[in-house]
Amino acid sequence: MEYFIQQLINGLTLGGLYALIALGYTMVYGVIQLINFAHGEFFAAGGYVGVIVLNYFAGRGLMDSNPWLCLAASLALTMAYCAFLAMAVEKVAYKPLRHQSRLAVLLSALGMSIFLQNALMLTQGVFDKPYPGEKFSGGLVFGDIRISVLQMMIVGLTILLLVGLNLLVFKTRIGMAMRATAQDKIMTSLVAISSNRIISLTFAIGSGLAAAAGIMVGLYYGSVRYDMGFVPGIKAFAAAVLGGIGNITGAMLGGLIIGMVEIFGAGYISGQYKDVFAFIILIAVLYFKPTGIMGENVDDTRV
């Protein structure tokens, strides 16, 4: 039983991380029907900017006195940086192709992903960059069950950001504009809502969430690497599709399911088929419900 609970906690943490990354995929898809393959790289960039900022604080001795404040500040800075990065990428690589075929934008996204990954490799080097994660050690211990501070932090932050995002999308005017743009770009621009601005904003928010996940991953696993964006990017994409791409709650659910399946598959069967389990679930769900769990059988234009 203790074993099960421990694996459940591990699964929740991993699922939370996937969910955070998946949200960006799903939001961008919801608004402009683009699978943004460069999204994983925003996540990796977030991990790197996070460690640079944290090391800057550590170098000034601030990490020792108030580590939590430093973490909050670096989260805010990193999310802002990645938001701007995503907006810039959108301007350069996607906006000029908006009226071309979807394939052109998709290829542009793939190219951007390779470009960003190589830029990270060339500027940051090929070695792992260690994270000052030991400041956040400790946690709760119940017999054989351990919940580390970082695990609580990841789950907590995921819930917080999700609630915030839901409020933004469903309770504010900006959210309303986003949903409207998703439904019909031309009609929305006729009522004086700048669809370009809304699209930029969608990229910014999605990338900000991925950047938060990047910092969390760095702290939780202890280091970041220039190619860290690829595999979680693919998993998060799978999570978004599993949940019904374009649907925010679906992305969250998909992330959690993939995280859980991976951990339980590895914990009860074998670690070598971890990725296989995740994708078997994806295929099974899509076979029986092609729109994904939360997807609806309507036109694929919804946030």
Partner 1 sequence: MKRKLLVALVLGIMVVPFLMDTATAKTLKLGSMGPLTGPYAADGNDIKNGVLCAIDVINDQGGVPGYDKIELFPQDTACDPKQAVASANKLINLEVVGVIGAYCSSSTIPASETLAEEDIIMITPASTNEKVTDRGLPYMFRMCGRDDDQAPAAVKFMKEALGAKTIFILDDKTTYSQGLADGVEKACKEMGLTVLGRDHVNQGDKDFSAILTMARDKNADVFYMSLQNHASGSLMAIQAKRMGLKSKIISQDAMFHPNFISVAKDAAEGVYVTYGYTDKTTDAYKAYEKRFSAKYGQIGAYGTYAYDAAIALMTAIKNAGSTDPAKIKAEMMKLDYDGASKHVKFRPNGDSGSSYVAFKIDGGDYKLYWTPEKGILK
Residues that bind partner 1 (CB under 8 A): 3, 6-7, 10-11, 13-14, 121, 126-128, 130, 133-134, 137, 141, 144, 146, 148, 150, 217, 221-223, 225, 227-228, 231-232, 262-267, 270-272, 274-275
CA 50 to chain centre: 15
Cβ at position 140, least distance to partner 1 in Å: 12
Work out how close the CB of 67 gets to partner 1 at its nearest, in angstroms, rounded to a whole number. 16
Q: Which is nearer to partner 1, 98 or 135 (CB)?
A: 135
Please say which residue, 88 or 269, places its beta carbon nearer to partner 1: 269
The SS3 of residue 142 is: strand
187 vs 175, 193, 257, 282, CA distance in Å?
16, 9, 36, 35
The nearest distance, CB 158 to partner 1, in angstroms, is 15
Question: Among residues 48 and 203, whose Cβ is nearest to partner 1?
Answer: 48
Q: Which helix (DSSP H) or strand (DSSP E) does residue 61 occupy?
A: none
With 0-12 / 13-18 / 19 or more C-beta atoms within 10 angstroms meaning exposed / middle / buried, residue 64 is exposed
- Determine the Cα–Cα distance for residues 117 and 226; give it in Å rounded to an integer: 6
For residue 105, the minimal CB distance to partner 1 (Å) is 28
Q: Residue 15 or residue 30: which is nearer to partner 1 going by CB?
A: 15
Of 18 and 94, nearer to partner 1 (C-beta) is 18
In the complex, the smallest distance separating the C-beta of residue 40 from partner 1, rounded to whole angstroms, is 13
Closest approach, Cβ 38 to partner 1, in A, equals 20
Listed residue (112, 43, 130) closest to 78, CA to CA:
43
- Could you tell me where the DSSP H helices lie in the chain? 2-32, 39-59, 62-65, 67-89, 102-124, 149-171, 173-183, 185-190, 195-221, 230-243, 248-268, 274-288
- In angstroms, give the least distance from the CB of 144 to partner 1: 8
What end-to-end distance do the CA atoms of the chain give, in Å? 39
**One-letter amino acid for residue 20 of the chain:** L
CB nearer to partner 1: give 51 or 180: 51
- The residue (of 69 and 121) whose beta carbon lies closer to partner 1 is 121
